[in-house]
Structure 1
């Protein structure tokens, strides 16, 4: 049963001593009243009803219930002493038998199995001792009823303890799962941020490099060849719009409210002719060869191979020199995809091969991560005969 926060039941759960004290007081008053009413009047009743000594023993036994949650087993043993004294002096005991049942339930509900069994044995021994002191064999049906009631109280207490332990285990498991889910979420967010950073770097580095080259060309021919300058400025405008469109698609995933954003649409190997045309317009004499029948590539490999070509051509445009040429060769085989980008420029100063004074960029790291992610093999370095090359193999099998 669920307890509403702020309700009297919830308050009593947080202040158990108050509820137990009220229970002890009720038992004491009811026991004294019953002893005064029935003492010596009913057949077979003890000869003494209640006096100061008998009332004191009854109250002492009942008030122990107020501290039942702290020392239940000790109080159970202590409660049997005044009850045995009442029986030995032939006093009416009232409802003190309920005190033993309440303490037996508390031991079974709040302590381990071994101690609860000892408590049941102590209660049985006390009852047997009381029967002996009263010098009455009693009715066997009465003894059986008391035994069954005591056993039922013990079983209920154990059931409550097991249920409480099961609930605590469920709560602990839920907390562990919640912590694991939060850790997975943080890891996924970190991975997503890293992926977005790589995508943004690839987009910005490529388009800004092309726009820079186009702007430099427009500045040189602005006075002598206005038409060529106008074409260069038009290309810069188109390149800027393309860059903004791609960046909106990438950063859009960060602005989704509770929905899973997708980095779509993403370029692939089918967009290589457009990429090569853009590089030609920027001044790099680039050529593209595609060998073999182009299969349907996995989306991750498709994007990774495209970004590799884009980064390599951008590097050639920026660092190979004004008269450099670049070649892109894509070979589709049954089990793997081969991508080879090379140029005949001076090279050696870009992100791929940095000199001592160059600051490390993200291009080399991003390409190595992309290729390694799909189990590929990457080679980056000087080209035989001059220039620079990037060669990658992507396996197409699991």
Structure 2
């Protein structure tokens, strides 16, 4: 067969067509304080050196600095999860100054406006992330002194970005817009490998996923992702590509790193069937996991499998013009996620039955989440 070019997505089919040729796509999601206001919880947010997120001088004036300070139980340190993605103290919202998405942008207290700079995702890994910037709440210079200003910064996993925030108090404990009960309703016959806990554990890799925009947008994106996954895996049944005759075909020896795991090691795996050595390399580099040398992690570790899907969904456009994440967040519609996943084989009338299968799943999942599917469903 011709030597493939190192693009992210090559020819692919659903496992329902026995995955004669697979490729790479998306998965996983982001955990968020997305519970109803009836479940709002209140308490301290503690972090570095056991100190608390504090409003300077307990002032509720717009622009008041938010800092690290000894925990003292005062209202200046009492933060509520209001159920709309905001974190509030003294009647106002935790806010990124000037709507900046840059490293080092300070946070402050400000009137709640519904802006993206006031949206926060609390992940299972104890990060507090602003999805618009895709950055973490951070203690400046890793300095635990009282009065140290808080800011946003690229997520590093450091101790100065780890927080113990108020519990949700009810609703969905994972924070993800899809509850475990809804997930099980969507995939009643799923393979036991594809666990809900594996999915929610993977959310911290891309906090903007299902954590950006309105509650409607978040649910639509989660439904869109899971609908495409449903199609690619036959309802989360298939973990690996079924046609073993294809396995030796996914090694591009023109890549400088070759195929260290073996000629036949890079077959389709996971929720969207990651395949080819260069895709394992790219996904692994992005996720900080050595998938080039150990591609079997994708079929043995549910969280890794979901993360590879998330990697594609949030960063790759395949044969389309935008990432699936961008398609849902920017209102382009579900049809553009199909184009980015398998448009060269399905869109523009090439395989309307496959497109309809994806659309049917998306509409069903949106109904389970209680949200309209929106417009532009077809590609």
Q: TM-score, normalised by structure 1?
A: 0.20
Higher helix share: 1
Q: Per chain length, whose mean CA-contact separation is higher, i.e. which structure has more relative contact order (CA < 8 Å, sep 6+)?
A: 2
